[in-house]
């Protein structure tokens, strides 16, 4: 392949200047006259009926403009999950319901002239509740006499009479026979907790009626087009009269793939005809937005005499919380990504998501895959140690190769039957080899394991996907200007990942112009074409494919117009010129200007849409170097090495940023983060003093590397990078802790108390 000018090169972000100079680019950075401020009254009980609600005193308050209760809203069930239509999630949610199902559930909405007035008003609402029995243990949810969701109007619930939000089972081969034929069988159970996204910018939305009597929603979201569709359904309001604008987003990580603020703001604006604003507090973010799904996962692996895997069985019990957005699809990914990593002729999975009276779980970076790889990669390590093998060697023996198909991934899809999965690029061998060198694997693994401070290393490998095969779609519009710049309008949603820049690089590479010549405008449902949104690691692979197609068509038009203007049959494009065989040439600027104004007037422009029936997995090997203090149980993470195969790297700086940003999230998942509840379901750690994320002072040395592969289905050979690096650090840390001190912890987070309790007593 010829050397590329812009792909794979360090390129400043196209939005970099506005961000570093503090320009008003975020959702809340607008001034609206006559603005109403919204606050939500939330339930103090985990499960209760609202017997009576009195807002009469509140409506008398000066500055209170509107109060909304369940009596004021036409009940239309929906899912808050921003997924492609028809959503594979339960329609089990109302804007306001007469029943509350977790501490923090919505009870009433107040719109006032100021935040302070709205907060005082909440205290004056009188509510009488009838408390109902609650479910806090997911093992007790199925067939519990307390049923959380009833009603024929709800849809998509697997079995509401049994509190089952979602369920699936699937098998490839004959697992029972596979275990019977295996030389040894290994089986363990692992537990994963509630954790929060902790993005810097909270959920915030503003709504108003514009000069054409249309509803405008300016919101921090990952899914503007899904917001428009879902709001239209919830409020029975014409979609043609809704415009959704996604400005810069201050972090999302899946948490903003939900409709959590937009429905409330829109309802208030349509009732009052005034602009409205709702921003969640940090405490609300912790318990009333979305979390990662807690799961209990059991793996059983049968091993042959040659150490190959002959049978793999997986059982998942997932806590969806009080409602079921993403319940089915998250555990589908938990299964499909982890079970697609290793070769085995016999694979079976059984998965159940249940309702409980705890906070609602949703999309979180990795989307279920971290819950699968922690148990899988922990058990693979346990098998290696039991068999006396190097853990790296056992992985080399069993991971998938180029040319393999993955039938279990096809069966599972993401909540529905998928498409054939064939591995066309896989750099796991290189990832492991490079990581071994960078971590000093043999030296540290076999080093001294005595004394108070014990050092160890661990490894984990992982896979993810590049979009949702056959479902995700991206589209773009590109037009040429007289100065040879190009407007690139795309629905793809940049949520801080730098995708606008990556899309500009792809367009620039095709059109052979500097990246500065690509003017990007994204994520406005009125002005940009449709895109499914920023989730499932889809943007580079899916939206980038659309950009490449549109740019190629625009380039074809430039060439054709140039040949006509030069009056030749053959020509090529070279360095922003159309050049004929005889040396005659015409610049891009001349081509565009003459085409617009003089010769057969037309606009050089192109549109393209792109979807794919493939979702090529990126791969990763993560190595962890830790020191365990055996007197305190405290774990110091010395170094993390993350080596990733994402095909062709589009922008090295941004790719490194994705890896380096995901590692602290996974370190927190492994060692320090979890939501705590009292015996009534009330959350106890709703601030950053009590909920401990990894900060700069806690960070280890991080080494990020990429191995080069070429994915034939991706733009310029690229695969996804956004989620894959979050899957490996947690199991690698657990394995490193075992290597250091012989303690195997199967429940996250791995706290000092758990280590001390597991250490042999003298």
pLDDT value at position 417? Answer: 66
pTM for this structure?
0.96
Tokens of 205: 């939305």
Residues 620-659: tens digit of each pLDDT: 999 999 999 999 999 999 999 999 999 999 999 999 999 9
pLDDT value at position 462? Answer: 98
State the virtual CA torsion across 40, 41, 44, 50 in degrees, nearest 10.
-120
Q: Mean pLDDT, 10 residues at a time, over the chain (762 residues)?
A: 87 92 94 97 98 97 98 95 93 97 98 98 98 98 96 87 96 98 98 97 98 97 97 97 96 96 98 98 97 98 98 98 97 96 98 98 97 98 97 98 91 74 95 98 94 97 93 95 97 92 97 97 96 91 96 97 95 95 95 92 96 94 98 98 97 95 97 97 96 95 97 96 97 98 98 96 72
Tokens of 351: 């998965």
Q: Dump the DSSP string for 614-648.
A: --PPPEEEEEEEEEEETTT--EEEEEEEEEEE-BS
Q: Dump the DSSP string for 367-428.
A: TTHHHHHHHHHHHHHHHHHHHT--HHHHHHHHB--TT-B-HHHHHHTTTS-----B-----H
Residues 494-511: tens digit of each pLDDT: 999 999 999 999 999 999
Percentage, residues of the chain above pLDDT 90: 94
pLDDT value at position 414? Answer: 67
pLDDT value at position 176? Answer: 98
DSSP-derived pairing of the beta strands 99-100 and 347-355: unpaired
Helix (H) or strand (E) holding 72: none
How is domain 16-24+473-611 classified at the CATH fold level? Aldehyde Oxidoreductase; domain 4 (3.30.365)
Interatomic CA distance for residues 703 and 639, integer angstroms: 8
Tokens of 637: 């993470």
Q: Going by C-beta distance under 8 Å and a sequence separation of 6 or more, which residues neighbour residue 426?
A: 399, 400, 401, 402, 617, 619, 645, 709
First to last CA, the chain: 63
Angle, to 10 degrees, between the axis of helix 499-511 and the axis of helix 544-566?
Answer: 30
pLDDT value at position 153? Answer: 77
Q: Do 16-24+473-611 and 36-132+203-279 fold alike per CATH? A: no
Domain spanning 295-468+614-758, CATH architecture: 2-Layer Sandwich (3.30)
CATH number for the domain running over 36-132+203-279: 3.90.1170.50
Q: Going by C-beta distance under 8 Å and a sequence separation of 6 or more, which residues neighbour residue 543?
A: 474, 476, 490, 491, 492, 499, 503, 531, 610
pLDDT value at position 150? Answer: 87
CB 706 within 8 A of CB 659: no
For the chain, what are the domain ranges?
16-24+473-611, 36-132+203-279, 295-468+614-758
């Amino acid at each position: 392949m010829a050397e590329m000018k812009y792909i794979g090169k360090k390129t400043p972000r196209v939005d970099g200047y506005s961000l570093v100079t503090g320009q008003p680019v975020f959702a809340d950075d607008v001034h609206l006259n006559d603005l109403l401020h919204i606050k939500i009254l939330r339930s103090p009980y985990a499960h209760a009926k609202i017997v009576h609600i009195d807002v009469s005193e509140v409506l008398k308050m000066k500055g209170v403009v509107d109060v909304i209760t369940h009596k004021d809203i036409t009940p239309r069930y929906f899912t808050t999950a921003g997924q492609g239509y028809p959503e594979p999630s339960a329609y089990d949610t109302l804007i306001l319901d007469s029943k509350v199902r977790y501490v923090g559930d919505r009870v009433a909405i107040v719109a006032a002239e100021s935040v302070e007035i709205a907060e005082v008003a909440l205290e004056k609402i009188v509510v009488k509740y009838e408390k109902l029995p609650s479910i806090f243990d997911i093992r007790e949810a199925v067939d519990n006499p307390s049923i959380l969701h009833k009603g024929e109007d709800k849809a998509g619930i697997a079995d509401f009479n049994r509190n089952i939000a979602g369920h699936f089972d699937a098998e490839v081969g004959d697992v029972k026979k596979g275990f019977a034929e295996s030389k040894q069988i290994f089986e363990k159970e692992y537990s994963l907790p509630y954790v929060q996204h902790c993005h810097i910018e909270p959920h915030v939305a503003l709504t108003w009626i514009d000069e054409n009597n249309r509803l405008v929603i300016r919101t921090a979201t990952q899914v503007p087009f899904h917001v428009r569709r879902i709001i239209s359904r919830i409020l029975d309001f014409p979609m043609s009269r809704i415009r959704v604008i996604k400005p810069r987003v201050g972090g999302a990580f899946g948490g903003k793939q939900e409709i959590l603020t937009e429905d409330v703001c829109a309802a208030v604006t349509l009732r009052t005809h005034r602009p409205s604003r709702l921003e969640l507090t940090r405490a609300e973010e912790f318990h009333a937005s979305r979390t990662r799904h807690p799961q209990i996962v059991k793996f059983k692996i049968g091993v042959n005499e040659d150490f190959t895997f002959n049978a793999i069985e997986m059982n998942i019990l997932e806590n969806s919380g009080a409602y079921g957005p993403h319940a089915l699809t998250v555990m589908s990914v938990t299964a499909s990504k982890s079970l697609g990593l290793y070769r085995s002729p016999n694979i079976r999975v059984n998965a159940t998501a249940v309702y409980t009276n705890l906070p609602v779980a949703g999309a979180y970076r990795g989307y279920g895959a971290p819950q699968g790889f922690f148990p899988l990669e922990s058990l693979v390590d346990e098998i290696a140690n039991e068999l006396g093998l190097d853990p790296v060697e056992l992985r080399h023996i069993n991971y998938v190769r180029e040319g393999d198909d993955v039938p279990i991934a096809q069966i599972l899809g993401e909540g529905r039957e998928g498409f054939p999965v064939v591995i066309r690029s896989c750099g796991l061998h290189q990832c492991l080899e490079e990581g071994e060198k960078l971590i000093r694997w043999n030296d540290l693994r076999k080093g001294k394991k005595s004394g108070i401070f014990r050092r160890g290393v661990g490894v984990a490998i992982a896979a993810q996907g590049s979009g949702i095969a056959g479902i995700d779609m991206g589209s773009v519009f590109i037009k040429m200007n007289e100065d040879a710049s190009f407007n690139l309008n795309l629905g793809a949603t940049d949520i801080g990942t730098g995708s606008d820049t990556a899309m500009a690089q792809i367009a620039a590479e095709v059109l052979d112009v500097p990246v500065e010549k690509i003017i990007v405008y994204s994520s406005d449902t009125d002005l940009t074409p449709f895109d499914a949104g920023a989730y499932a690691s889809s943007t580079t692979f899916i939206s980038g494919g659309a950009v490449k197609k549109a740019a190629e068509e625009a380039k074809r038009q430039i060439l054709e117009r140039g040949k006509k203007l030069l009056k030749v049959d053959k020509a090529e494009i070279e360095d922003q010129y159309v050049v004929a065989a005889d040396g005659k040439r015409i610049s891009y600027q001349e081509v565009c200007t003459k085409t617009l104004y003089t010769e057969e007037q037309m606009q050089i422009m192109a549109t393209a849409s792109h979807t794919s029936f493939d979702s090529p997995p990126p791969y990763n090997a993560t190595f962890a170097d830790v020191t365990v203090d055996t007197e305190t149980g405290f774990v110091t993470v010395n170094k993390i090495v993350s080596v990733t195969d994402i095909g062709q790297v589009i922008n090295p700086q941004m790719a490194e940023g994705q890896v380096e940003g995901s590692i602290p999230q996974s370190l927190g998942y492994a060692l320090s983060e979890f939501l705590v509840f009292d015996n009534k379901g009330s959350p106890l750690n709703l601030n950053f003093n009590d909920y401990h994320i990894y900060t700069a002072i806690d960070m280890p040395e991080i080494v990020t590397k990429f191995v080069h592969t070429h994915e034939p289905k991706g733009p310029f050979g690229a695969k996804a990078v956004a989620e894959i690096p979050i899957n490996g650090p947690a199991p690698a840390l657990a394995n490193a802790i075992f290597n250091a001190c012989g303690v195997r912890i199967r429940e996250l987070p791995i706290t000092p108390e758990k280590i001390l309790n597991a250490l042999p007593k003298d």
